[in-house]
Structure 1
Amino acid sequence: MTLRVLVITPVYYPEVGGGALATYLITDVLARTGQLRLTVLTGVRNPERVNGVNYIYDPLIKLINKRYFLPSLLAKRYQKILKRHDIIYVAYAFPFVPLGKAYGKKVIVHLHDYRPISLNGVVLAGTKGSSSFRLIKDSFTIRLMQKKGVKDLARNVLNIPYTLQMRRWVSMADTILAVSKRHAE
């Protein structure tokens, strides 16, 4: 039986960014094995296509990375496509992790930055295994060092619950891929 893999990503090559390129390259390598049936669900209208891969464009996927979507809001819209696949590969679209798990799917999360861990995507040296409080405090320290305004600090405060929720979602994954040893720590 051929495994069906659903790649869910708001960004995809040729859009600029390491995550977009990495997801494209991984899709290409997996497609070349000839042992998987791949579908990419993306918010990119004209993605660089890999032979043998099915692409589904959905503009809502692009917004998932920028808005506070809860899995329950996405469940009805994506239920059929999630159920048709054996493995869910998530890049940036973290609300899909609990959905995939709810349907009994294997879920792989590929982290391309520190967003599920840190409010501003930065983790200071020496914070290995640090508490959520320490990471939040460091985030504010970085914002102050950057001389960001009150609006930016307020936005940071509003992002705390969502960042903590992303951490919980990512921790539900069967496999977590990191871009470096430091990132994996």
Structure 2
Amino acid sequence: MDDKTVKPKILVFSKLFWPEGGGAELATYLIIRDVLSKYFDVTVVSGTKTPEQDIPGSIRYIYWNILETRYKPIEWIKLFANINWLKRFVEKTDIVYIPSHTLIPLSIALKIIKPDIKIVLHLHNYQILTYTSVVLTDREPDMATDMIVEYGEHKSLIRTLLTGLGHYINYINRLAIRFVDKIICVSNRQYEILKKYVPEIRDKTHVIYNPPPPMPTVNKRIGEEPTLLYAGGGSYIKGFAMLLNAIARLLKRSKAKIY
């Protein structure tokens, strides 16, 4: 694209921005840095006070403290309560890109402000199906699923009961996708699961794999004894509890070092 050509304006709403967050935030950062910045005039609105510095200088970054709100229902209320703040950015924007699962209801507010704006929603999980954004194998994405996930993660009965109520509040996300023009899924399997329960996404969804992250140099020297190097997080849902159980069994059967 010619440098003199006026680029279309894209507004990115991301609850967190790299280096805060996890895989979804890293993917968002790489997409903005390596793709969007080349073809669009990019503005990022995020709840991260100190973003990654290695982004093109042409990208405008705005910290918005509303996106630091911890609980999703409260955050959703604040989004609609601050519609006038949003208006000053949205009215001058051609496209809005939403890669954060907690900000899906923002689509409704954006279309109220500017009905002809194009909205792209990037789904990294299953937020439109469950309040916890998690789908369990061989289970329907129902209230019980949300409660199982919440109790497994936090072991709090009060939080578990509130999450059961959150399952029904979460239907706002299914409503919100009607206001979205395009949806990106990160895998074919994710798309198939979402389409099974929300078939109306079929005609507006594309599968695009996340860009590969830079590979770090690992200088750990491995000795002669069996070694297990675990570099994942501590999420119960992603299998950390199962890993600990497996490690305990492994140590009983063999001499191994665990990192």
Q: The TM-score by the shorter chain falls in which range?
A: 0.7 to 0.9
Partner-residue secondary structure (3-state), 1:14: coil
Between 36-45 and 16-25, the greater mean CA deviation after superposition: 16-25
The answer to whether the 8 A contact 2:47-2:64 is kept is: yes
TM-score, normalised via structure 2 length: 0.61
Instruction: Report sequence identity in percent.
Output: 24
Displacement, 1:147?
9.3
Whether 1:183 aligns to 2:190 is yes
How far apart, CA to CA, are the structure 2 residues paired with 1:182 and 1:85? 33
Check the 8 A contact 2:105/2:172 in 1, yes or no: no
Q: Which residue of 1 aligns with 2:24?
A: 19
Letter of the 2:107 counterpart: V
Whether 1:125 and 2:131 are equivalent positions in the alignment is no
CA contact (8 A) 2:104 2:177 kept: yes
Q: Give the Cα separation in 2 of the matches to 1:18 and 1:147.
A: 21
The CA deviation string for residues 135-179 of structure 1, in whole angstroms up to 9 with x for no partner, is 223334555677944313211123123311122213421111122
Supply the distance in 2 between the matched residues of 1:10 and 1:147 (Cα, whole angstroms). Answer: 22
Aligned residues: 179
- Asked if the contact 1:11–1:19 (Cα under 8 Å) also holds between the matched residues in 2, the reply is no
In structure 1, what is the equivalent of residue 111 of structure 2?
Answer: 101
Q: How does 1:60-139 map to 2 (within 5 A)?
A: 60-63=66-69, 66=72, 67-70=74-77, 71-92=79-100, 93-102=103-112, 103=114, 104-126=116-138, 135-139=142-146
Given the alignment, which residue of 13, 21, 35 partners 1:8?
13
Larger Rg: 2
Residues 2 and 37 in structure 1, CA contact (< 8 A), matched pair in contact too: yes
Q: AA paired with 1:118?
A: T
Give the 3-state SS of the residue equivalent to 1:8 in structure 2.
Answer: strand
Matches within 5 A, 1:39-78: 39-49=43-53, 50-51=55-56, 52-63=58-69, 66=72, 67-70=74-77, 71-78=79-86
TM-score (norm 1): 0.83
Say if 1:64 and 1:41 are closer, same or farther in 2 by CA, change over 3 A: farther
Tell me the alpha carbon deviations over residues 73-92 of structure 1, each in whole angstroms, 9 at most, x when there is no partner: 13112111011110000122
After the TM superposition, which of the residue ranges 164-173 and 139-148 deviates more from structure 2? 139-148
Runs of 5+ in structure 2 lacking a partner?
1-5, 193-259
Among candidates 143, 147, 169, match of residue 162 of structure 1: 169
